[in-house]
């Protein structure tokens, strides 16, 4: 009887152990399946992160493209010689600038402007700058402003030097610069009716001391540019800054080839940055004049611009400006400008 009980007990123990071993085996199998599932999910997540990092490093639209804009709203009153007057409220400027970093060596820039006369948008600039970020050397190709006249100063109304030499053409320019010296050499098709690249320009700018910059430029031909006579032109300019005060000067002379009229242009400017009614602002005075410039399209003999620009919150400012012009016929024109300038 005892043997039978012992045998039954052993059999029961063996059955219980077998059942327990089967449960452990099932749990181990389930754990292995869960581990494999987790490993698969982790691999998928790592692949997604690697793809995102690759996309970021190669550059997406949001990372590599910058869009900026300017809109200027003008209200003015003009008093002409003889008592004639006129006034207007208008959208004076609307520009969209687009810059795209194509890769580490190429940057594309373009400017879209609203043409008030034609009431349409025009692509006025589109050019590429080629050069590594850590290089002092770069190449600019495309439709770009010709960098001859140097505009210094905060005046909202451009000086007469810009009226005469505001030139945008298809060009190629090689530039080199370091901490104190900048050099440019460029070429473009200067004659509007021509069919060949025939004009060469040079620029140099040197920082000679703290707050002092001197510059010079040369243009081999001014023919058919804003009705300027055929001939070469040269420029000298300087900038002096100390504290809140900035003084600048520019002189341009044209050596005409087939006429005794040699136009010249002078621009002087003074800016003073100060607090205006609790906001940062600038008070400015600009003076420009021409000599032998009566044949240049719509060019005055003298222009004075006196004004103040005050911040109007972030990315906005208000300009109040008085401008007096005197023509070669000794006719004077007085203009009051009130401008809201916005940037985004």
pLDDT per position as a tens digit, 2-36: 545 545 544 545 454 455 455 666 767 766 777 77
Residue 198 has pLDDT above 60, yes or no: yes
**CA 78/CA 342 separation, integer angstroms:** 24
- Non-local (6+) Cβ contacts of 344 within 8 A are 68, 69, 315
Averaged over 31-53, what is the pLDDT? 68
Burial of 284 (0-12, 13-18, 19+ CB in 10 A): buried
**CA 306/CA 285 separation, integer angstroms:** 5
pLDDT band per the 50, 70, 90 thresholds, residue 248: very high
Name which of 300, 269, 274, 307 is nearest 76 in CA terms: 307
Name which of 207, 192, 199 is nearest 148 in CA terms: 199
Give yes or no for a contact between 290 and 284, defined as CB atoms under 8 angstroms apart.
no
Tokens (6 digits) for 7: 């045998």
Name which of 317, 300, 321 is nearest 75 in CA terms: 321
Task: Give the residue, 261 or 68, on which the prediction is more confident.
Answer: 68
**CA 85/CA 59 separation, integer angstroms:** 55
Enter the DSSP assignment of 19.
Answer: H
Helix (H, G, I), strand (E, B) or coil at 61: helix
What pTM, to 2 d.p., does this model score? 0.78
Give the whole-number percent of the chain exceeding pLDDT 70.
Answer: 83
Burial of 189 (0-12, 13-18, 19+ CB in 10 A): middle
- Give the pLDDT confidence score for residue 19 in this predicted structure: 52
**CA 235/CA 174 separation, integer angstroms:** 19
Give yes or no for a contact between 315 and 323, defined as CB atoms under 8 angstroms apart.
no
Name which of 68, 65, 64, 90 is nearest 77 in CA terms: 90
Per-residue pLDDT tens for 123-166?
999 999 999 988 999 999 999 999 999 887 889 999 999 989 98
């Amino acid at each position: 009887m005892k043997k039978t009980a012992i045998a039954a007990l052993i059999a029961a123990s063996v059955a219980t152990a077998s059942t327990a071993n089967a449960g452990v085996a099932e749990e181990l199998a389930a754990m292995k399946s869960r581990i494999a599932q987790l490993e698969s999910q982790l691999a998928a997540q790592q692949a997604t992160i690697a793809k995102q990092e690759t996309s970021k490093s190669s550059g997406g639209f949001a990372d590599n493209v910058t869009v900026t804009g300017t809109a200027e709203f003008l209200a003015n009153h003009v008093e002409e010689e003889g008592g004639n007057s006129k006034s207007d409220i208008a959208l004076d400027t609307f520009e969209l600038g687009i810059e795209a970093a194509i890769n580490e060596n190429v940057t594309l820039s373009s400017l879209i402007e609203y043409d008030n006369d034609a009431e349409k948008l025009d692509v006025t600039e589109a050019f590429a700058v080629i050069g590594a970020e850590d290089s002092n050397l770069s190449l600019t190709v495309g439709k770009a402003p010709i960098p001859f006249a140097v505009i210094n100063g905060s005046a909202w109304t451009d000086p007469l030097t810009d009226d005469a030499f505001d030139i945008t053409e298809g060009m190629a320019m090689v530039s080199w610069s370091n901490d104190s010296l900048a050099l440019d050499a460029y070429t473009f098709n200067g004659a509007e009716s021509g069919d060949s690249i025939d004009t060469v320009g040079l620029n140099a700018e040197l920082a000679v001391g703290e707050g002092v910059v001197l510059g010079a430029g040369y243009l081999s031909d001014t023919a058919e540019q804003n009705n300027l006579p055929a001939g070469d032109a040269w420029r000298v300019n300087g900038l002096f800054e100390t504290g809140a005060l900035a003084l600048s000067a520019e002189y341009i002379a044209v050596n005409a080839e087939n006429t005794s009229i040699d136009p010249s242009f002078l621009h002087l400017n003074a800016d003073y940055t100060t607090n205006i009614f609790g906001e940062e602002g600038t008070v400015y005075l600009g003076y420009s004049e021409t000599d032998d410039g009566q044949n240049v399209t719509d060019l005055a003999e003298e222009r004075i611009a006196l004004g103040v620009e005050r911040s109007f919150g972030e990315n906005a400012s208000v300009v109040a400006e008085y401008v007096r012009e005197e023509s070669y016929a000794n006719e004077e024109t007085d203009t009051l400008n009130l401008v809201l300038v916005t940037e985004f």
